Amino acid sequence: MAATNHIAATPTYDIAKVVKELDESKMGVKGLAESGITSIPNMFIRPPEVLSTLKKPTSHTKKAIPLIDLSNFNVPTKRHQLVELIREATSSWGFFQVINHGVPLSVLNEILDAIKAFHDQPHEVKAKLYNRDNDDEQGVMYQSNYDLYRAKLATWHDSLTIWTAPEEKCGKEEDIPEICKKEMAAWESHSSKVAEILLELLSEGLGVEAERFKKLGFFDARLLVGHCYPYCPQPDLTVGLKSHTDSGFTVLLQNQVGGLQVKHCDEWVDVEPIPGALTINIGDIIQIISNDNYVSVEHRVLAKASKEPRISAVTFFNMNTNAGFEPLPELLSSDKPAIYRKSTVKKYLESYYSKGLNSKYFLTKVKILLAGMTLSRFGWPRDKACKGGDIPEVCRKEIVAWESHSTKVAEALLELLSEGFGVFGGQVGCGTLLSYCPTGPDGGNHISHRFRLTVLLQNQVGGLQVKHGDEWVDVEPIPGALTIISNDNYVSVEHRVLAKASKKPRISVVAFLTWGLKLILITLDHCQNYYHPINQLFTANSQCQNSMKVFSAKDWIASLSYKKLDCEIRIRRGMVKSI
Ligand SMILES: O=C(O)CCC(=O)C(=O)O
Ligand SMILES: [Fe+2]
């Protein structure tokens, strides 16, 4: 304990070492809290961009996740209304609370008390159960921070986890701690009944047969978790559980301490503890299966300075690791094509862990690409050029202006590149493409077009991604910025556009020319953040590192004499480096 604090104060802080120390001590964060520390070790301190979101907004009308009364679920005349309420809640919030769900209050109180009693046991008792199997989680495990080694930082919680299905992962009867065995069994059986009712109602909400989710195997893998979020001396510097999404279907019971928050319209909304209520949410795989009719929403738990710990009992319902999933065919039509490709739970889990529990990353990976609507106007060669009068009047003036401006940018860039690379000749053609991506995928291929240089302007919706190594990286919308994409003679940069559930369509306007390098972002206005996307795109060992550059407007204008940039390009002999 003292060692951990000592390390926290040392300037050369070896996070991996401290994490290992905490793990090997088997004391959990509860042990740490009880050791009398007044400040938390550095490994728990979240970055400023997270800490700034922990403060409560001062003047908002308080939002709350939907609260749904399940008493009528078996009344045929009321069922439709209930289905609608649940459909609405799951499509807009991804979360809701239920009351009158049929689980006796005594069962709820007993499981919370039993989980607390488990965590309250002396260190020596719990330490015997403390184990970590990062590769194949199964059986019964007690541990602090189940993602301790995968996540970059630790959070303020300890958990007891018990697998109850499938058979081969199941915790052995004798391994389940006596202190909560009976209560865990009752919680599992009752939470499963609630899950069964709700998965039926969710199926009906999609207009598919009531048993659909059950038949897909959502009861095949079951995990019970008893979380404990103990007293934290500095709750403003860390979180109880970091922001994440779940994978399948989750039934959660919390005690009265609170701290669970759900992200809704970019705001963190408290899930207020309601005596007797259960909190329900769907995860990423259900979002995919429902073809985005239901949304999987980020949530987190705040750390608290309350003496009473937050306790939660959670049952996760999932498909088996080897199961495949894809948007339900019943939901698809030419108007509503599949938004996601087929995948497997195994791939989902690999992606989840490889990205430090970033589950949403998987959704972008399996998202089908959009072709969108396109309108082309080719300025060159002449035989391909459409006549001015062919351009729809609604955007004629603007397209002509865009074409002239983007061509100037491109020409200046081409001259620079030509000088820098020492290549001349070839034909400079220009085409303009307006792209509008409302809904609907093309089911198709990543774009890697034949034009040498592309000048692209996008609105703030985002969705453009560039392939960098094996990863798809977002090209963040920056107000006033143009994105330059190019294929050089040898390497072309694959890029694509994601489908979005945003109400606003993605709009982009693109000019294609024949020459270029790989990817450059030019900011045309004063934008403090123009390094951000480029930093994301850079990694130490990538080819892209040598083929991208951010130009500020100032640099760009200054460079029109071509001296400064030209010099830099020449030095790199054909490679453009970052500034
Ligand atoms: O303890 C809680 O309320 C949240 C738990 C949770 O989100 C999880 O384990 O995935
Ligand atoms: Fe969760």
- CA-wise closest residue to 440 among 373, 361, 508, 375: 373
Residue 374 has pLDDT above 90, yes or no: no
Indicate which atom in ligand 1 lies nearest the CA of residue 300.
7
Indicate which atom in ligand 1 lies nearest the CA of residue 227.
1
Return the residue matching tokens 């120390």. 21
* CA distance readout (Å), 151 to 99, 391, 495, 550: 35, 52, 29, 31
Q: What is the DSSP string of 321-341?
A: TT-EE---GGG--SSS--SB-
Question: CA-to-CA distance for 410 and 385, rounded, in angstroms?
Answer: 18
Cα of 228 vs centre of ligand 1, distance in Å, is 10
Cα of 18 vs centre of ligand 1, distance in Å, is 25
pLDDT at 451: 41
**Strand stretches in 245-363, DSSP E:** 249-254, 260-264, 267-270, 278-282, 299-302, 310-318, 324-325, 343-344
pLDDT at 529: 30
Question: Residue 562: pLDDT band by 50, 70, 90 thresholds?
Answer: very low
Residue 6 has pLDDT above 60, yes or no: no
Backbone angles phi, psi at 40, to 5 degrees: -90, 145
- CA-wise closest residue to 530 among 568, 579, 458, 567: 579
Question: Residue 284: pLDDT band by 50, 70, 90 thresholds?
Answer: very high
Q: What average pLDDT does this structure show over 197-204?
A: 98
Structure token pair of residue 318: 């999932």
Helices assigned H by DSSP within 173-229: 178-206, 212-216
**Residue 222 Cβ < 6 Å to ligand 1:** no
Which pLDDT tens digit goes with each residue over 84-129?
Answer: 999 999 999 999 999 999 999 999 999 999 999 999 999 999 999 9
Residue 44 has pLDDT above 50, yes or no: yes
**Residue 299 Cβ < 6 Å to ligand 1:** yes
Q: Beta-carbon neighbour count of residue 139 at 10 Å?
A: 16
Residue 363 has pLDDT above 50, yes or no: yes
ipTM of this complex: 0.99
Report the range of poorest mean pLDDT among 43-57, 240-254, 524-538: 524-538
Report the range of poorest mean pLDDT among 53-62, 65-74, 176-185, 501-510: 501-510
Counting other chains too, the contacts that 331-335 makes at CB distance below 8 Å and 24 or more residues apart are 331/206, 331/207, 331/208, 331/290, 331/291, 331/293, 332/291, 335/440
pLDDT at 204: 97
pLDDT at 62: 80
Closest residue (by CA) to atom 3 of ligand 1? 260
Indicate which atom in ligand 1 lies nearest the CA of residue 252.
3
Indicate which atom in ligand 1 lies nearest the CA of residue 246.
10
Cα of 281 vs centre of ligand 2, distance in Å, is 8
Which stretch, 236-240, 337-341, 351-355, 424-428, has highest mean pLDDT? 236-240
Residue 290 has pLDDT above 80, yes or no: yes
Residue 448 has pLDDT above 90, yes or no: no
Give the ligand whose atoms come closest to the C-alpha of residue 252. Answer: 1
**Residue 252 Cβ < 6 Å to ligand 1:** yes
Which residues make Cβ contacts (< 8 Å) with residue 61, sequence separation at least 6? Answer: none
Question: CA-to-CA distance for 74 and 53, rounded, in angstroms?
Answer: 41
Cα of 314 vs centre of ligand 1, distance in Å, is 7
Cα of 245 vs centre of ligand 1, distance in Å, is 10
Indicate which atom in ligand 1 lies nearest the CA of residue 254.
3
Cα of 246 vs centre of ligand 2, distance in Å, is 5
Closest residue (by CA) to atom 9 of ligand 1? 314
**Residue 227 Cβ < 6 Å to ligand 1:** yes
Structure token pair of residue 236: 């403003």
Question: CA-to-CA distance for 358 and 365, rounded, in angstroms?
Answer: 12
The residue that leads in pLDDT, 335 or 220, is 220
The residue that leads in pLDDT, 372 or 46, is 46
Return the residue matching tokens 């008390």. 113
Return the residue matching tokens 């045309």. 524
Backbone angles phi, psi at 273, to 5 degrees: -65, 125
Cα of 386 vs centre of ligand 1, distance in Å, is 57
Cα of 401 vs centre of ligand 2, distance in Å, is 49
Structure token pair of residue 159: 């958990």
Question: CA-to-CA distance for 306 and 340, rounded, in angstroms?
Answer: 43
Question: CA-to-CA distance for 32 and 368, rounded, in angstroms?
Answer: 46
Return the residue matching tokens 């399996």. 366
Q: What average pLDDT does this structure show over 300-324?
A: 97
Question: CA-to-CA distance for 431 and 142, rounded, in angstroms?
Answer: 61
Q: What average pLDDT does this structure show over 551-575?
A: 33
**Strand stretches in 429-575, DSSP E:** 430-437, 453-458, 464-468, 471-474, 481-486, 495-497, 506-513, 519-523, 548-551
Structure token pair of residue 332: 């698809």
Q: Which H or E run includes 374?
A: strand 373-378
CB 518 within 8 Å of CB 473: no
pLDDT at 18: 86
Q: What is the pTM of this model?
A: 0.68
Cα of 377 vs centre of ligand 1, distance in Å, is 52
Give the ligand whose atoms come closest to the C-alpha of residue 297. Answer: 2
Give the ligand whose atoms come closest to the C-alpha of residue 146. Answer: 1
- CA-wise closest residue to 159 among 178, 146, 140, 174: 146
**Residue 225 Cβ < 6 Å to ligand 1:** yes
**Residue 254 Cβ < 6 Å to ligand 1:** yes
